[in-house]
Chains A and B, each alone.
Chain A
């Protein structure tokens, strides 16, 4: 296996991007990453694109070729593949790109993630997202993702004494971080009371416990680590890539408060990197709902099971805490264009390890982790990255 480096990153602004098409978003993020890496089209060996449901959101499938075309590479006939794993589509695309370089097949790969979700109504977006749940056993009975994560939250509150205030603190922290990220959908700090007094979506989750519907795209350029110096002196290494699956439905799990796909993907990644959770300096975790961040920091081994709420309350995960989590603002404040999220997490970790995260820069960041989840936890990817 060869070492793999991130040599370029690109993001569009996340938000309600009424004046940008799906095609424009992919081209913008991709061209920024390619420009950042300083590569040319003919040097790209392959492209991988994460997109969850472009067919339902914008009526466009066949996204692999579209992205290569929209990026202006139709004449070089780059192999381009779309990858889908619900909200983990971006993380899976990164992993596919990583594997193709690690295996020796490719040297330079562009990975993209994109979703344009605002072209359909809120109800249609919720329905489309619910296709990532078990249609026969969950969605058919009316369970949407807010409902499924609300069940996780109530069980977590019952089993471990986690409180609504602790859930709310995740949102407050992530909005504070988002306020420092010019690419974030929401760049405004919020108060605890605002979160607690917001309209209930599915008890105990209120409006501010939920990530928004977002348009956006992200891209990274991956390269064999030994060739990275030919292009840039700002490379960051991906030192581990883990992936795991679990039951598609929530009720099939041995414990609904534990995402075993996270546990196993993390175990795989820590083993490959020869590191433990204590070695991680910062993490981007999949906070599609506030409870998801609490479960994530437990399942990734940063805190004991059941202690996630307290860790947030004790401000361990704030920007100046001992383990900053979601410095980008997370899915909650940065936004959650589902197919782009996993790639955007890699972008944030790369910026932090390069020292390019500006106002939200974590001091002495050396090792970062990105955690991307599909559905209620049926798919998970964990990537560990290291500053060079």
Chain B
């Protein structure tokens, strides 16, 4: 995949935050020990007027502001999410129209739990490689759901990342990518259900850890690399603990993953998680930096990427959009009542 890669990137994180302690106090739980156990202090919360479509549009606009790509040259948009606002009617068309990329455009919405965004990067990369499009736009975004009182309530949050993939002015080449996929039902949401269900501890060893370690091992084999060859590594982060553990299992250090580790501050943004992690790394990356990324989506699968940052990153107008760190810091705390209103937990007829 010589010369194909990321041309620009953007991300978006809603500014509202709720602390784990605040959620715990409502349910009579020990917030401090839950925070410690999950490695999550607080999570982002979408406002009443934010959803996967608005977050996707904001992230895509941020990516466009940083580069000189004409939206009309974008030939494909894939939006990965498990919280598309409509069951039938694509999010991708809203994004395409909002950024001015329609109508000569391939569009599809993707769903693969938390890895639908990276699946979009793979599809765009393939379309560019096949010369079917000049640029592809891959987005991963979610306003993830958690049933009131469920353990997921401490982590399920909102945010997204957008990546323009192409051959020209590539700031980071995608050297290798591969996936590891099995039918492993660790987490799911049936049609018509408001909240997802999960298999408790089954989501750990046989699901998250097996798929990420297998995929990561395969991509390093493909690239002929070792963990120490990378400057940065990003792993899916359903909480603050799992990515640290999986990094250690694979031989990566905390220093390699800390720039891309956002879960402690914003929670699990699902399809946005590794996308925002990668955006955070690109916010600070220098030419020549090697980046390792492995996403994870329940159900289950992992997408792995071996990436090298190029000299072109110096020409990208990174300052034209807020960095991930700035968005993490730009926050306003809300109480559980406001959270309940914002996330549609309240019912009336």
Contact = CB atoms under 8 A, between A and B. Distances in A.
Contacts of A246: none
A18 B206 contact: yes
Nearest to B33: A199
A122 B202 CA distance: 11
Nearest to A119: B202
Given A18-B206, A19-B206, A118 B30 contact: no
Contacts of B37: 199
Interface string A1-30: 000000000000000101100000000000
Interface residues of A, number: 7
Nearest to B200: A121
Given A199-B30, A199-B33, A122 B205 contact: no
Interface in B185-202: 199-202
Given A121-B200, A122-B200, A18 B33 contact: no
Contacts of B205: 16, 18
Contacts of A19: 206
A18 B202 contact: yes
B126 to A, nearest CB: 33
Interface in B4-52: 30, 33, 37
Nearest to B184: A18
A199 B202 CA distance: 21
A118 B33 CA distance: 24
A16 B210 CA distance: 14
Nearest to B37: A199
A16 B203 CA distance: 12
Nearest to A121: B200
Contacts of B33: 199
Contacts of A16: 201, 205
B97 to A, nearest CB: 43
Nearest to A197: B33
Interface in A7-62: 16, 18-19
B242 to A, nearest CB: 16
Nearest to B207: A18
Nearest to B186: A18
Query: Which has the most chain A C-beta neighbours within 10 Å: B33, B37, B200?
Result: B200
A19 B205 CA distance: 11
Contacts of A199: 30, 33, 37
Interface string A157-178: 0000000000000000000000
Among A18, A19, A118, A121, residue most surrounded by chain B Cβ atoms (within 10 Å)? A18
A118 B206 contact: no
Interface string A120-155: 011000000000000000000000000000000000
Nearest to A19: B206
A195 B202 CA distance: 25
A324 B163 CA distance: 62
Contacts of A121: 199-200
A121 B33 CA distance: 21
A19 B202 CA distance: 11
B248 to A, nearest CB: 15
A288 to B, nearest CB: 20
A199 B37 CA distance: 10
A135 to B, nearest CB: 25
Interface in A208-260: none
Nearest to A120: B200
Interface in B157-212: 199-202, 205-206
B187 to A, nearest CB: 13
A184 B163 CA distance: 47
Going nearest first, the 4 A-B pairs with the smallest beta carbon separation are A18-B206, A121-B200, A199-B33, A122-B200
14 contacts: A16-B201, A16-B205, A18-B202, A18-B205, A18-B206, A19-B206, A118-B201, A118-B202, A121-B199, A121-B200, A122-B200, A122-B201, A199-B30, A199-B33
Interface of B: 30, 33, 37, 199-202, 205-206
Interface of A: 16, 18-19, 118, 121-122, 199
Given A16-B205, A18-B202, 8 more contacts: A16-B201, A18-B205, A18-B206, A19-B206, A118-B202, A121-B199, A199-B33, A199-B37
